[in-house]
Structure 1
Amino acid sequence: MAKEGKGFFGAICSLFASIPVVKSVKKASKSRKTKSKKAKSKLKLKNLFKILKRSVRKRKAKFMRKPINS
């Protein structure tokens, strides 16, 4: 049933959440959100590694082009 101390809309939401079908839909949407968040963070990491690799290559190439003064 509705919990006290949540306000009008909070009480209505908790009432709807007690229905099994709504619970399963809510769970599914939550897992979908977490999956998309994980995918986004993976993509961000992938892009970050790409940028780091590129900068390392540039530095390496710059170092190799420098003439050796001996």
Structure 2
Amino acid sequence: MKRDRICRICKKAEATIADHHPLDRKTLVAMGLDADNPEYGRGLCEPCHNRYTASTNPGGWYKGAPW
């Protein structure tokens, strides 16, 4: 968040969420990479993060849950 103080998508709002990009956390972990490395992230504002996540991961974290 120190690196990206302004949202990397809209370039207007303050970045408040660290987003995994260009790969998601699951993929990074499956590849044996450090998902917390800033190289695999970007700062987004909440509205941009929510829109992006909804478009790339419909169902969110709950999709495929065993219960």
TM-score, length basis structure 2: 0.26
More strand by share: 2
TM-score, length basis structure 1: 0.25
Question: RCO higher in 1 or 2 (8 Å CA, sep ≥ 6)?
Answer: 2
Q: Which has the larger radius of gyration?
A: 1
